[in-house]
Each structure stands twice: as C-alpha cells, then as structure tokens.
Chains A and B, each alone.
Chain A
Amino acid sequence: MADTYKETTATASPGSNWQLAKYGLIGILFFVVLLAALGWVTAQLEAGTKSERAVDYATNTITLALSSEPPQLDSTRATDMVSGMLLGHVMEGLLRYGPDNDLIAGMAESWDVGQMGGTFKIRQDAFWSNGTQVTAHDFVFAWRTAVNPETASQYAFILFPIKNAQSINNGEMPLTDLGAKAVDDFTLEVELERPTPYFLKLLAFPTYFPINEEFYNSTDGRYGADAEDLLYNGPFEITRWVHDASIRLDKNETYWNEEQTKLDALDFAYIISDANATLNLFATEKIVYAGLNSENLERALKNRWRIKQHVDGSVFFLEINHLPERITSNYNLRKALQLVHDPAELVYKVMKLPGNLPGESLFPVWLKGVNGNFRDEYPGPKYVPNEEKAREHLALALEELGVEELPPLMLLAGDNPVSNKQSEYYQSVYKEKLGIDVKIDKQIFKQRLAKMTSGDFDLVAAGWGPDYDDVLTFGDLFASWNLNNRGHYVNEELDRHVAIAQSSSDPVERMEAMDRVQQILHDDVAILIQYERGSVYVSDDRVQGVTRRSVGTDPDYTRAYIVQGP
C-alpha cells in the first residue's frame, strides 16, 4: 500500500503553489475584514478600556488597575476593599482622614460631641454631583437605610453605637426611632446608645456616608450598580464604568473643596487580578502602581524599580476552635501548638515578603494608644518558641485527653496560593516538631465561611482588617458575643475588659483594658498570631502626594499630583 501512495501523492508543484498562494490571500483578506468588523463591533459595544499612558500630562490623568470589580458601590452595603477605596474617592462622610491620617472636616464643618451624642453642622457649600445640596436628611436617610433589616447590610453593626440602631436592625423598632435626627437641613443631631469614645472615628467609614433619598428612590433598586446610578459628593465622580473592564473617575467640580483636587482624572483602565499581568502593565508604562508579591519581587529588583513598603493594617492569625467537643479546647494542646509556632520563620522563610511583620499581638503596631502608639506603650506578650516545653505540654495534653496519639488536626484554609504555602508549612512544622498530623481542608471562599460558621475545623487561617482607627476595631473581636469569633472563644475576663474599652472615656483605662486583652489572648492561647500584613509595591515616581493608610481609603489619590519626570 505504502508504495503506491508515493507515486500518487500530490507534491508541491508551481501550479499548486500558486493555488495555495491564492487561497492564502483569500484567507488573509477574509481575516483582515473579519478583524476590522470585530474591531468595529467592539468599539460600538464600548466594552473595553481606553488604554492611555500611565501618566498623561496633557489631560492631567493617571491610569491605574483594579484587582477586582466592585460588586456594587452602594455605600450602605459595600464590604470589600476595592469598593471602599473607590467610595473614599467619590463620596465623603461627615469627617474624612487627612493627608497625615488624622481626622479632618468633611461634610461637617463643625461638630460638638459629648458622651451620649452630639450635633454636626453640615457645610452649606456641599453639593451632590447633580447640583442638589447635601443636607442632614441625606445622612439620616443613609443611616436608616443601612440599619434597615430589609437592606441586610453586613456592615450595619458599625452603626450600632447610634441609639436604637441594633434594635432597628433586629426588626424590633421602626426606622424612625434611629437616634439620628435632622434638626434642620444643615444640623444633624446624633444620640448614642452608650458612651462611645471612638464615635468620631467611625464617621469616615463608608457605611456612614450620606445618600440622597430622592435619587436613591429614583434608581429603582439599582443604586450603585452603574456610574449613572450614583450621586457623588466627594473629590471625584465616576463618569464611566464598564463592568469588569474599567472605571473612570473625573474630578468632581461640585465638590466643596475642589481646589484641593489636583488631578483631572483617575482612570482605573484595567480590572485584572493576575499579579504578573498587572506588573507587565507597569513594566510597559501603562499604569502607575502595581503591588508586588514574593514571586515577582526579584523581577522588580532586577529592573531597578523603586520599591516601596506599606503596612496595610490587617492582622492574620490562626483561629482555634474552642468548642468543648474539639480537642483544641484542651489548653495544653493549644500551648504546645503555640510553643512551636514561629511567626518569624513563617514571615521570613515562607511568605518572603518584606513589610509583613512577624505577629506578636492581635493589636498591630500602628494602632494609636494613649499618646503614642499602643504597642510602644503596651508592648504585649513576648515569647520565644520552645520545642522542649511544647513537647511537655503535648504530653500533658495527651494525658488529659486520655489518648495515646492525637487524631489529626483539621486546618481549614483558603484556596489561594498564599494560604496554600502557609498550610503546607504548618502541616510540615507540626508533623516534624510535635508529630501531630495536620489535615488541610482547602475550601473556596463561601464553603470556608460556611465551615467556619458551623465550627467544622480545629484551626482556621483568618485575618482582620481595621474598620476604624481605634484599638477596639481589633479589641472586641474575641468577645464572646462577637459573631466573627468563629472559634467560639469564651473568656469572661476578656469580655469584661472589652466592655470597659467600649464605654470608658478614660484613654488610659481603655488602653490598659486592651493590654489585658492581648495578654489573655496569648496566655490562654485563644488564637495563634501569624503576622501583620504589609505590602510592597512599585509606583511611578511622577505621581506624588499619594497617601497610604492602614485605616480608610488606601491608596488615597485625592490629593495626588503629577510632577514632570526625567
């Protein structure tokens, strides 16, 4: 068979070459026409990003990338960091964080706050982007919407210091009972449920932002879904929002302090989660900012880019399940786990990213204390990993539990690369040093949350980012009533100290209570502190005046400006 084939096989002859070229030409022509058509359709759909240069002098615009699309920009329901960052640019609460991370006047031009409430004067030169004035009613409406059980806002709890907010949220009281009243258009009166020394600090948080009632109702349930379904009272306004592709912020001319805004536009021209792709955009000067991770750090160094560091404010820890049916409710076992837990090794050898600090306390180093930083004033527990002591505790634990060998520990973890690394590390450490088997239970986000809520774990990696600039944003996390205390840790003494910090107006008393909390958490091994998250990033030197924060809008471009580059 094979022999006869050879004879008849058509081989390249001048004729067939010419034919092939003809077909090839037709093919190419078809391809070009198709390309043009697709290009035209894409342009009509306006589904894309207009990719400009990172810094555009002519239009006074900088281009950036977002790591994910904000689910929606309704300030009463926003929970994620991207939404918070965007809202911080386009909206403004009664107060806002200034360039030095201090609280400054926002919509409120003056305020008078006492133990149980206060009065806020809304500035009369504050306007919404449609020209209507921002009034006290807008705040009352927004806050009522946020605590309205129908809204089902996850952040309703942050309004609970306001009188009756919690009862309303539980559906026990009508909305009108909320302790926030508009005395007149420009006077807002707030009553508090109990003394809340940190109340002012809450006011810069997005859930406290105002919403124009008339506009809200006119959007027919779509408030915050698109650029035109929002009103803006902040330094910028969203002029174009192409979902999952780009969000463009233009300077808001109606903003009361508009001369402070130096840039004409912030163009978030890309929504891209892949870290390497984002860095590629930075490398080709398409965006002015890119976060780094331990994997692409070396690339940034070899390119001689300027690397900067920032403490993002979050603290990460392993939560331990304290439910009595779990072996981890045994103190000695927990102590053994703690004594071989070396945050320094985790940070330096596993995570390998500068900026992350080995965790020592639930309270991160940047939190303010009485006068200076809380951790400078109350350094917290110091401990050194000690394998020998750990094994002693383990022996005790085995005895108390009445077992020869420990059943494997369930480590519930996320499905991202960082948590993979960590879980694999813990599995190896506990096996090597204590002979304890750790089973990794890797789950995607919602399943992990479900398992956390139902208590189906021994250890779970979790983190907490600050909502407001006060020790209590971390301090009440492991109070027995806190729903985020997923390990169900119960300690009456800790609860008592949290209660003190919640209502005492004496800063020293509050800080001392919090010092006790960090001590208890360590001594009783309520959790294992892993690290304080930091980030390293590269940014374009031509953009200056960017404020980085641990609490609030981060990064904050409201006062950023462009300088002439080399």
Chain B
Amino acid sequence: MSEFSFKPIAHDADVEEKSRPSLSYWKDAWLRLKANKRAFASLFVVLGMLAFAFVGPFVWRVDHSVQRLDFTSKPPWADRNAVIAQPYVAWDGVVAPEPTGDNLAPETLEVVGEATTNSVRLKWDAVRNAEGYRVYRHVLRPLTGEPLGLPLGGTKSRTAVSFEDRLDIKPTTYWYSVVALDDQGTEFPEATTITVDVTLTTTVLTAIEQGWIDEADAGDLVPGSRFQLPWHPLGTDYLGRDLLARLMKGAQVSLFIGIVAPFLFVIAGVVYGSISGFLGRSVDHILMRFADFVIALPFLLFMILFKLLFGIGPGESGILPMLVALVLLSWPGAARLVRGEILQIREEGYVEASRLLGTKTPRLILRHMIPNTMGVVLVTFTFAVPSTIFTEAFLSFIGMGVTAPTPSWGAMCNDGIKTMETTPHELIFPALFISITVLAFNLLGDGLRDALDARMRYGE
C-alpha cells in the first residue's frame, strides 16, 4: 500500500446538513417542559403568583396596613350596607327612681336610641333589693336555665339602670339580658332578655378619614342616609385590614424569601462546590468536611438562634436576618451536588479535549463545567423554593419569623388559625396561597428535572 492509496475526502457540504434543525440543550429542555402539561401549567401558576405579588398592588390599590376597627374579621360576603350615624358622644346613663314592684328581674328592658355597631345603649327598670346589675349578651336566644351569654359588665347601684355596650358589636342579632345582683354580688334567679337587631353604621368622619369620600361630598351624607362600604374581595382580618391587599404584601415577603434565599444559597453552593470539585484532593477534602459540619447543624434550631443573633431592630421586618440565616445554613446541599457533578464532568472526554486544545482553567470552568451543572442546579433551586416557603411559614407561625406589622403568609396563618372555627376565611386564604405556591413549584421542579436531565428522568 503506498501513500497514494489514501485520497483526501473531497469536501462534501451535505455531510454537515442535518435532517432536523439543531436543538440546543436549553431549547430541547424547553420543548420537553412544554410537552409536560402539569409542569407547564405550574410555570404559569408561579408566574401568576409573582404577578399577584408584584403587579397586584398596582391593580388593587388598597393599603394593606389601613385598619378598620368597625369592620374586623369580615368574610368576603359580609353585608356592606351601612347607615350614616351621628358622631359618637359619650353617654351619661340613666338613673331610675327607687323601684316599687317586687319582681326579681327588671320589668322592662329597652334600647335607648339606635342599636348600632358603635354602641348599644340599654336601660331598664330598677329592681327592689338589688345592689347592682349585670348585663349579658348572647349570639343565640338564651334557653331557660341556660347561660345568658357573655358577661359585659354592669352597674353597682340599684338605681343605676343603664349600660352602654361598645364591645366589638357586629351587625347581627343579639340577645341582651339584665340580671339583678344582691349585696354579695350573687345573681337573682330571673333575668330580663330582649332581642336587638344591630345596624351597621359608620360616620361621615370615618368615611373621610378612610378616604371613601371627598371632604367636599361629605355634605350629601346626612345621618340616617345609606352608604355602601367598600368591598373586600377576600374579607378583612382581625384589625379590619383588607385581606387581599395583605395577601399581596404577604406574597411579596413569602415569595421574596422563598425565591431569593434559595437563589443565593444555590449560587453560594455552586461557587463553593465548583472550587472544591475542580481543585480536588486535600482542598476538596477540607472544604467538603466543612460542608458536612454545616449540614449537621440542627436546621430549625439554628434558624431560630441565628434569627435572634442578628436581631431585629425597631421598624424592621425581619426579612433580612431570615435571608442571611437561610443562606448560612442551606448552601452545603447545593455545594455537595455541584461538586459531585464537577468531579464527573472533569473526567468527560470533551473537557479533556478542550484542555488538550489549550483552554485555560477559568474558561474551562465557566464554559464547560458550570453550564453543564446548570440543569441540576436549576432543579435543586426549584425544589428549594417550596421548602424555603414552608420554613418561612413555619418560623413566622411560631413567632420567630417576620415581625408585625409585616405580613407573610405564615404569619397570617398564625393569626387566622386562632379563629378557625368562627372566621375560617382568615386561615383558609393564606393557607391556600401557601399550598398552591408550594405545589406549583414542586410540579415545576418535577417537570424541569424530567426536561433538563436525562439521567434524572422518570417514566412519565
């Protein structure tokens, strides 16, 4: 065989031509993700949540911190038809003449003026031998011999026969009872009960203060006229703040912590892990031992300790300390993962080839190693988001998270869970938002894992 037996192949343009358009790794991943309906829908849910948190406040322009103490813990469907009332003037009460009859309970019991959500004024007839009276309020009709309801207070003299109730009055039907007391403070065996329908009222002053009307229009509102209170699509919380606005603000906090913290600790992990993995040997050994130490710290206990260590100054929300604590404690997971990947990629043929071609180390890391770990990193990040949101919620729930008045979904759950039976909407809405977000990120993570990493793919 002579050297002429070999003939250079003629340049043939057709060889380079592909039957299908070339797909980059990311493009391919994107197509796979799009094909996964659940993951793709989750992506939109996540984007929707972000829009809710950061665009929402521009659409729903209600201040999340404005309190309406006359409209607290109201569900979305609460009646909003209010009557304009006179401004509140203190009441001196009523003094009755000495009683004449010998009944054991007041003969009459009536409401003085209007029964409004601001105040209910009661007066009754004096009872012989009474040394005082106690007033009760019930949300159910008291049955004979059964408790009269909530003891509101009372008077300490036989002739002081009036009582003003201002305690958290709701626009509903109440049963007020008055029972006489003897000189030992023991109740007489009989009580007088009336049914009172309370009307929802507001004052012109409140309307102006809350910005529902202009001061100029205030003239149209005379006491007694009807007024439609503003709508709260998701109801109000225990201080009468708009729940939707608070959920948006809470979304900012929860999503901010939930996304930024994982982002930071994953980045930290990538840097740490790639240094460790690339340098290898003793450096790798020492770095990884240290990561093992940090992993071994009891996570929640240290979250709490760190949070206290960094402290929260006056007026601060506590978001930053939590962020720092999360990053300090969570980076080793990502670092380990990236290091493992780097160790593997280091041995890959294309890296070897690139190195032989004289590529410098930094370029090697940036061009070949890190991009090839990105799939794993992105998946890790996506799964870290829901667990971080949970951590934030949990810490806020036990009072170790963000501080009032900054709302977060977890803190709102904490507020709502106490009144779960009576006003469930205060728990359900924030819990629902947590659930949906956590679920969406989990499904998106599943989808990304399937799409990005062939080795991590599962049979669906």
Binding site for B on A (CB under 8 A): 2, 5, 9, 275-276, 293-299, 301-302, 304-309, 344-345, 347-350, 352, 354-355, 384, 408, 410-412, 415-417, 420-421, 423-425, 427-428, 432, 439-444, 447, 536
Q: Is the CB of A301 within 8 A of B314?
A: no
**A301-B138, A408-B315 known; A354 and B167 CB under 8 Å?**
yes
Q: Are B459 and A9 in touch, CB under 8 angstroms?
A: yes
Distance between Cα atoms of A299 and B418 in the complex (Å): 11
- List the B residue with the shortest CB-CB distance to A357: B153
- In the A-B complex, the 9 residue pairs with the closest CB atoms: A439-B315, A441-B314, A295-B418, A349-B69, A306-B147, A439-B314, A352-B168, A298-B422, A348-B166
With a cutoff of 8 Å between Cβ atoms, the chain B residues found around residue A427 in the complex are 65, 405
A203 to B243, CA, bound (A): 53
Contact B238–A421 (Cβ < 8 Å): yes
Assess whether B150 is in contact with A354, with CB atoms less than 8 Å apart.
yes
Q: A349-B72, A424-B404, A440-B403 are in contact. Are A307 and B315 (CB under 8 A)?
A: no
Are B146 and A304 in contact (CB-based, < 8 A)? yes
In whole angstroms, how far apart are the Cα atoms of A295 and B209 in the complex?
Answer: 28
- Residues in B whose Cβ lies below 8 Å from that of A423: 404-405
Q: Does B432 contact A (CB under 8 A)?
A: no
Report the Cα distance A352→B423, complex, angstroms.
Answer: 15
Give the shortest distance, in Å, between A138 (CB) and chain B (any CB).
37
In Å, the complex CA distance between A415 and B69 comes to: 22
Q: Which of A297, A425, A441 contacts B67 (CB 8 A)?
A: A425
- Taking a contact as CB atoms under 8 Å apart, the answer to whether A302 and B67 are in contact is no
Known: A344-B166, A420-B404. A432 touches B209 (CB 8 A): yes
- The reply to whether A440 and B147 contact each other, CB–CB distance below 8 Å, is no
Please indicate which of the listed interface residues B140, B149, B167 has the most CB atoms of chain A within 10 Å of its own CB. B167
**Cross-chain contact of B405 among A293, A309, A440 (Cβ < 8 A):** A440
Docked-complex contact B418 and A276, CB < 8 angstroms? yes
Can you sample 30 A-B contacts with CB below 8 Å?
A: A2-B459, A5-B459, A275-B418, A295-B418, A296-B419, A296-B422, A298-B139, A299-B422, A349-B72, A349-B168, A350-B69, A354-B150, A354-B151, A384-B90, A410-B314, A410-B315, A415-B399, A417-B415, A421-B238, A423-B404, A423-B405, A425-B67, A440-B405, A441-B312, A441-B315, A442-B403, A443-B312, A447-B311, A536-B150, A536-B151
- Assess the B314–A411 pair: CB atoms within 8 A: yes
Cα–Cα, bound, A384→B167 (Å): 18
Are B314 and A307 in touch, CB under 8 angstroms? Answer: no
B153 touches A307 (CB 8 A): no
Cβ contacts under 8 Å, B313 to chain A:
441
* Residue in A275, A307, A420, A444 whose beta carbon sits within 8 Å of that of B150 in the complex: A307
Chain B residues with CB below 8 A from A416, complex form: 399
Which of B66, B72, B143, B149: most chain A CB closer than 10 A? B149
Minimum CB–CB distance from A241 to chain B (whole Å) comes to 27
Closest approach, in angstroms, between the C-beta of A68 and any C-beta of chain B?
A: 16
Smallest CB–CB gap between B204 and chain A, Å? 15
Compute how far the CA of A297 lies from the CA of B167 in the bound complex, rounded to whole angstroms.
Answer: 12
A447-B312 Cα distance, complex, nearest whole Å: 11
B297 on interface, CB distance cutoff 8 Å: no
Nearest A residue to B69 via CB reads A349
The CA of A302 and the CA of B152, in the complex, are separated in Å by 16
User: Does A301 contact B418, Cβ atoms closer than 8 Å?
Assistant: no
Instruction: Establish whether residues B150 and A428, one from each chain, have CB atoms under 8 Å apart when the complex forms.
Output: no
Is B14 on the interface with A (CB-CB < 8 A)?
Answer: no
A415 to B318, CA, bound (A): 13
Interface string of B410-430 (1 = CB under 8 A from A): 000011011111100000000
Contact assessment for B140 and A309 in the assembled complex, using a CB-CB cutoff below 8 Å: no
Across-interface contacts of B66 in A (CB, < 8 A): 428
- Smallest CB separation, A44 vs chain B (Å): 28
B166 pairs with A444, CB closer than 8 A: no
Complex Cα gap A309–B315 (Å): 36
Beyond the given A295-B238, A441-B313, could you list 4 further A-B residue pairs with CB under 8 A, ordered by the A residue number?
Answer: A306-B147, A348-B167, A354-B151, A408-B314
Q: Which of B104-153 contact A (CB under 8 A)?
A: 138-140, 143, 146-147, 149-153
Chain B residues, CB < 8 A from A296:
418-419, 421-422
Q: Which residues on the B side are within 8 Å of A304 (C-beta)?
A: 140, 143, 146-147
> With a CB–CB cut-off of 8 A, which chain A residues contact B209?
432
Given the interface pairs A299-B422, A440-B315, the reply to whether A349 lies near B403 with Cβ below 8 Å is no
With a CB–CB cut-off of 8 A, which chain B residues contact A355? 151
On whether the beta carbons of B150 and A301 are closer than 8 Å, the reply is yes
Chain B nearest Cβ from A93, distance in angstroms: 27
Q: Mark B208-246, 1 if CB is under 8 A from A, else 0.
A: 010000000000000000000000000000110000000
Cα–Cα distance between A423 and B4 once the two chains are bound (Å): 95
State A302–B66 Cα separation when bound (angstroms): 31
Contact check, B239 vs A425: say whether CB atoms are below 8 A apart. Answer: yes
Residues of A within 8 A of B404 (CB): 420, 423-424, 440, 442
A425 vs B69: C-alpha distance when bound (angstroms): 9
Which A residue's beta carbon lies closest to that of B134? A309
Q: How far is the CB of B415 from chain A (nearest CB, A)?
A: 7
Q: Which residues of A contact B239 (CB under 8 A)?
A: 350, 421, 424-425, 428
A268 → B minimal CB distance (Å): 24
B420 surroundings in chain A (CB, below 8 A): 276
| Assembled-state Cα–Cα distance A499/B369 (Å) | 80
User: How distant is A430 from chain B, measured CB to nearest CB, in Å?
Assistant: 12
| Min distance, Cβ B183 to any Cβ of chain A, angstroms | 12
Could you say which residues of chain B place their CB within 8 Å of the CB of A442?
A: 312, 403-404
B78 at the interface (CB under 8 A from A): no
Q: Are A307 and B419 interface neighbours, CB within 8 A? A: no
Say yes or no for B94: interface residue by CB 8 A criterion.
no
Residue B279, interface by CB 8 Å: no
Q: CB-CB < 8 A to A305: which residues of B?
A: 147
Please measure, in the bound complex, the distance between the C-alpha atom of A237 and the C-alpha atom of B226, giving whole angstroms.
65
> Which of B69, B139, B140 has most chain A Cβ within 10 Å?
B69
Q: Which of A352, A354, A408 has the most CB of B within 10 A?
A: A354
Contact residues in B for A447 (Cβ distance below 8 Å) = 308, 311
Contact of A307 among B90, B147, B308, B399 (CB under 8 A): B147
Q: Please, how many angstroms separate the alpha-carbon atoms of A355 and B150 in the complex?
A: 10
Residues of A within 8 A of B190 (CB): none
Q: Which residues of A contact B460 (CB under 8 A)?
A: 2
Q: In the complex, what residue of chain B is closest to A365 when comparing beta carbons?
A: B156
Residues of chain A within 8 A of B146, CB atoms compared: 304
Residues 226 to 268 of chain B near chain A (Cβ within 8 Å):
238-239
Chain B residues near A306: list those with CB within 8 A. Answer: 147
A447 vs B307: C-alpha distance when bound (angstroms) = 13
Q: A376's closest neighbor in chain B, by CB? A: B156
Verify if B70 is at the interface (C-beta below 8 Å from A).
Answer: yes
B417 cross-chain contacts in A, Cβ below 8 A: 276
Q: Which residues of A contact B414 (CB under 8 A)?
A: 417
Q: Are A307 and B167 in contact (CB under 8 A)?
A: no
Residues of B within 8 A of A415 (CB): 399, 403
Is there an interface contact between A348 and B168, defined as CB atoms closer than 8 Å?
yes
Q: Determine the chain A residues whose CB is within 8 A of the CB of B90 once the complex forms.
A: 384
Q: How far is the CB of B11 from chain A (nearest CB, A)?
A: 37
Closest B residue to A292 by beta carbon equals B150
B151 contacts A308, CB within 8 Å? yes
CB distance from A383 to the nearest CB of B (A): 12
Min distance, Cβ B33 to any Cβ of chain A, angstroms: 15
Task: Name which residue of chain B comes closest to A346, CB basis.
Answer: B69
Tell me the smallest distance from the CB of A429 to a CB of chain B, in Å. Answer: 9
> Once the chains bind, are A417 and B418 in contact (CB under 8 Å)?
yes
A444 contacts which chain B residues (CB < 8 A)?
308
The proximity string for B residues 5-47 relative to A, scoring 1 for CB distances below 8 Å and 0 otherwise, is 0000000000000000000000000000000000000000000
Q: Within 8 Å CB of A2, what residues of B?
A: 459-460
Scan residues 152-166 of chain B and give those whose CB is less than 8 A from a CB of chain A.
152-153, 166
A345, B399: Cβ atoms closer than 8 Å: no
Cα A410 to Cα B314 with chains together (Å): 6
Given the complex of chains A and B, what is the CA–CA distance between A295 and B167 in angstroms?
A: 14
Give every chain A residue within 8 A of B69 (Cβ-Cβ): 345, 349-350, 425
Least distance between B55 CB and chain A CB atoms (Å): 26
| B402 and chain A: residue at smallest CB distance | A442
Query: What residues on A are CB-neighbors of B421 within 8 Å?
Result: 296, 298-299
